[in-house]
């Protein structure tokens, strides 16, 4: 009935209000972050274009964390967003284009997860930091760093290096022995 639907909508609105009130009751300076897991990897998929088969590689970043107020009170079900910034070495952090407004997922257990992916050719080696914000706030309450490295040798270059590594010892051994008459 419409009365049941109205009650459901009111309960959802009340839950959202209470979650934002719980987060809002904690000042940004009182928030601490507990990193529960971090994952970075490269994914690959093959895409058929009109003329050829191309490999599309993506760098994938995922971090799971929880937030606490004044070191001991868990902050759960808060509406959060994230902004990703990047730096290489000791240079200043710069906003990473295309991932300035990243969703943060909340689990039933009270932890959160932030994930993002970038094309391989737009992902230089360095530190990618997800700055965590209470929804609607301008100052971050916490941050979590994810590190990405780019291999010096990959793809076809790695295959050629492997072939050389396997044939070099054979060449050496074959030159150590002479054919007997």
CB 145 within 8 A of CB 127: yes
**Residue 77: what pLDDT?**
87
Coil, strand or helix at 83? strand
The SS3 of residue 169 is helix
pTM of the model: 0.65
In this prediction, residue 80 carries a pLDDT of 93
Confidence of residue 10 (pLDDT cuts 50, 70, 90): very low
**pLDDT tens per residue across span 96-124:** 877 778 889 999 888 999 999 888 888 88
pLDDT confidence bin for 11, thresholds 50/70/90 = very low
Residue 161, C-beta contacts closer than 8 angstroms, at least 6 positions apart: 153
| pLDDT reported for residue 2 | 52
């Amino acid at each position: 009935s419409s009365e049941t639907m109205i009650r459901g909508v009111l309960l959802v609105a009340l839950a959202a209000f209470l979650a934002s009130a719980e987060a809002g009751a904690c000042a940004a300076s009182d928030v601490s972050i507990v990193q529960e897991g971090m994952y970075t990897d490269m994914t690959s998929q093959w895409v058929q274009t009109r003329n050829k088969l191309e490999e599309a590689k993506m760098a994938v970043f995922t971090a799971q964390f929880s937030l606490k107020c004044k070191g001991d009170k868990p902050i759960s079900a808060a509406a959060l967003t994230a902004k990703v910034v990047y730096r290489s070495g000791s240079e200043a952090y710069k906003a990473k284009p295309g991932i300035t407004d990243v969703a943060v997922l909340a689990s039933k257990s009270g932890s959160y997860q932030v994930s993002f992916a970038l094309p391989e050719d737009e992902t230089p080696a360095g530190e990618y930091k997800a700055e965590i914000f209470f929804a609607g706030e301008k100052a971050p309450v916490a941050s979590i760093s994810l590190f990405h490295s780019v291999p010096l040798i990959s793809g076809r270059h790695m295959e050629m290096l492997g072939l050389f590594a396997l044939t070099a010892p054979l060449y050496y051994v074959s030159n150590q022995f002479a054919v007997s008459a």
